[in-house]
Amino acid sequence: MPDSSPILRADRLVKRFDSFTALDGLSFEVAPGESLGLLGVNGAGKTTAMNLLLGLTTPTSGTVEVFGMEFWEHRTEILRRINFSSAYTNLPSNLLVWQNLLVFARLYRVPQPKQRIDELLELLDITHLRKSVTGRLSAGESTRVNLAKALLNQPRLLLLDEPTASLDPDIADRVRKLLRKLQAETGISILYTSHWLG
């Protein structure tokens, strides 16, 4: 695949729930190393779009190509190099941060999981949270731990559903800076959603 090919191409995605149309012909492309935002008010269909791209639901019509491959035909292969984080999903709250990350590292079959976890804790500046109880983290800390989880499998494409939604403005700004640094260092592509239109 030449470098200029899009990492992700969504073409005329439609999603209907019975007679209700949640997505009505959504098309966009994400280039390698690009960060693209899907912006819209609550109920606009952002999470529905993310769910389609994670294979959690099927489109009524339209197509998705990721890494140059048709999504449904190559779903397993594609999902190996994608990961996801959302302001609205939580890691198991009773586990320590490192335990949570180790569980996911094993699920993803990460080679040398402990080393990878240490690298990510350092990258996200949360080494000091390694032995914290996950359920007691602040919103900003928990966002960064969720990002660490989402980076464990070295994804080429990161899907972030309202990554800064529950954060104070200064912490949200810090997370955005962190994502830019991550992108500069790894060339990862990011598709995020936001209901913040300011």
Interface with ligand ADP by CB under 6 A: which residues? 17, 20, 22, 40, 42-48
Per DSSP, what are the bridge partners of residue 84?
A: 159
Q: Considering only residues 9, 11, 47, 139, which one is a binding residue for Mg ion as defined by CB under 5 A?
A: 47
Kindly tell me which of 46 and 144 has the beta carbon lying closer to Mg ion. 46
Kindly tell me which of 67 and 71 has the beta carbon lying closer to ligand ADP. 71
Out of ligand ADP, Mg ion, none, which partner does residue 96 contact, by CB within 5 to 8 A per kind?
none
Kindly tell me which of 65 and 161 has the beta carbon lying closer to ligand ADP. 161
Please give the residue whose beta carbon sits closest to Mg ion in the complex: 47
Q: Give yes or no for a contact between 69 and 157, defined as CB atoms under 8 angstroms apart.
A: no
Structure tokens at 62: 């339209």
Q: How far is 119 from 157, CA to CA, in rounded Å?
A: 19
Kindly tell me which of 53 and 152 has the beta carbon lying closer to ligand ADP. 53
Out of Mg ion, ligand ADP, none, which partner does residue 17 contact, by CB within 5 to 8 A per kind?
ligand ADP
| Conformation bin of residue 119: beta by default, left when phi > 0, alpha when psi is -120 to 50 | alpha
Structure tokens at 15: 């999603």
Alpha-carbon dihedral angle through residues 129, 100, 7, 111, given to the nearest 10 degrees? 100
Choose one: 1-9, 45-53, 91-99, 138-146; the region binding Mg ion (CB under 5 A): 45-53
Main-chain phi, psi angles of 71, to 5 degrees = -60, -55
Structure tokens at 161: 């559903």
- Least distance in angstroms from the C-beta of 47 to ligand ADP: 3
In the block, tokens 């500046």 appear at 125
Choose one: 31-39, 46-54, 96-104, 147-155; the region binding Mg ion (CB under 5 A): 46-54
Kindly tell me which of 47 and 183 has the beta carbon lying closer to Mg ion. 47
Please work out the total of residues on this chain that contact Mg ion, with binding judged by CB under 5 A: 2
Per DSSP, what are the bridge partners of residue 172?
A: none
Structure tokens at 78: 């594609």
Residues that bind Mg ion (CB under 5 A): 46-47
